[in-house]
Amino acid sequence: MTGRLQAPKGTHDLFPSDSERFAAVEATARRVFGAHGYGEIRTPTFEATELFARSVGETTDIVHKEMFTFPDRKGRSLTLRPENTAGVVRALVEKGLQDLPKPVRLWYAGPQFRYEQPQAGRYREFRQIGVELVGVPSASGDAEVIGMLFVFLRALGLADVRATINCIPKGEARAAFSRALQEHARPRASGFGEDDRKRLEENPLRLFDSKDPETKRVLEGAPATLDFLDDASRAHHEELKRLLPLLGVPFRESAAIVRGIDYYTLTVFEVTSDRLGAQNALLGGGRYDDLVADLGGPPTPAVGFAIGEDRLVEAMTSDARVPRTLFAVIPDGREDLVYALGVADEIRQLLPEAVVEADLLARGIGKGLGRAGQLASDPSRYAFRIAGVRAVLLGSKEREADSVTVKDLSTGAQETFPRRQLAERLAGRER
């Protein structure tokens, strides 16, 4: 077969400088979450299919319609992870959560896979940055993760964001809420599609995930989650509302936030961004007090969130890339290349923060300067933020005299000096 191959639908390649933006966001995550005592966990990108059916839930869109599921060569059903919470809990239970000091604080960053209809901000392979706090039953746990989330978002320059929170009843109160929802919707369900009819009977909470305008209309007058909370749950929710302002987290309440995943109990939250299009959910999270036990572990409360990293990078206006000085080391001809490589290496050792590129194609000073000028004039194409460009010009004159000529591309100033003076001449010029 001939012809050009394309990336699979819903995937996208990250070239420099995009990859560098993602790396900068992940470095900030590592710094902020690390400062709160969270360590990184990396779990497999595929898991047993059953894990997601038992955690995310059989009747959710994710499990029902969006999983990349395949048999391995021995016929075991595997699934590319659509999210990372289930894998983290599986890993903790497998490691022996009962023996680990609590609470367990973890974060992760990595690709997730959902077979969705691709559009701007919605991909089949996307990246999440997430956090899971395991072993804290009280609202102080919810407050810690949400507070830390806002420290992270602000560190990235996203100042104008607000959380929307809700509280979903659990246990008997949840069953009562589900019944009330059914009683409200059944007499009004004549216009429901097949999916929503099924949701209504099997898992009425999932009706809130429906995109069907008719279902949405019926839900407008539906009972509200907050009216069904038992006393302990209500106290939990009130405590969280008291703590969030102390941590500087702006929020509002909305009964419409139920999240499209079954494992949530009590707190759920989302952050949307006006800078995104139709897919404006920047992140989502919540408490999942029953999941660890449901997956065979010791009953352990937990709370966490996951940010859509692709959407986060899209919403950022600030440039988190590190500013660096670029040294374009340009040999005049092939015979100057070895000398140029030596000089390039020396500058790298003198200025570890700088970026030093030797023109390996040795097309001559003119072409080399042209490329350096292109980079300087279109810095978004480059992996780092360019703090300045210096061309190091090396022809037979420099090679024979063991000297270098350095040209500052922003001022045009140029000087030639002995190579042994590189250290003192470049001192203070790096970033």
Contacting positions for ligand HAM (CB under 6 A): 83-85, 114, 116, 122-123, 126, 128, 130, 132, 261, 281-286, 304-306, 308, 310-311
Nearest residue (CB) to ligand HAM, 108 versus 384: 108
Nearest residue (CB) to ligand HAM, 84 versus 166: 84
Nearest residue (CB) to ligand HAM, 43 versus 325: 43
Q: Taking CB positions, which residue lies at the least distance from ligand HAM?
A: 308
Given its phi and psi angles, is residue 246 left (phi above 0), alpha (psi -120 to 50 degrees) or beta?
A: alpha
Helix (H, G, I), strand (E, B) or coil at 82: coil
Q: Which of 100, 103, 83, 96 is nearest to 43 (CA)?
A: 83
Smallest distance, Å, CB 223 to ligand HAM? Answer: 23
Smallest distance, Å, CB 94 to ligand HAM? Answer: 18
CA atoms within 13 A of residue 12's CA, in its CB half-sphere: 14
- Residue 415's beta-bridge partner residues? 406
Smallest distance, Å, CB 264 to ligand HAM? Answer: 7
Smallest distance, Å, CB 16 to ligand HAM? Answer: 21
Secondary structure (DSSP) of 408-426: ETTT--EEEEEGGGHHHHH
Nearest residue (CB) to ligand HAM, 240 versus 306: 306
Nearest residue (CB) to ligand HAM, 84 versus 300: 84
- Residue 391's beta-bridge partner residues? 328, 407
Task: Determine the Cα–Cα distance for residues 330 and 222; give it in Å rounded to an integer.
Answer: 70
Burial label, 318 (beta-carbon count in 10 A; 0-12, 13-18, 19+): exposed
Nearest residue (CB) to ligand HAM, 286 versus 368: 286
Smallest distance, Å, CB 150 to ligand HAM? Answer: 16
Task: Determine the Cα–Cα distance for residues 336 and 400; give it in Å rounded to an integer.
Answer: 10
The CA-atom distances, in angstroms, between 13 and each of 18, 42, 164 are 9, 21, 32
Smallest distance, Å, CB 5 to ligand HAM? Answer: 23
For the chain, first and last CA: distance in Å? Answer: 50
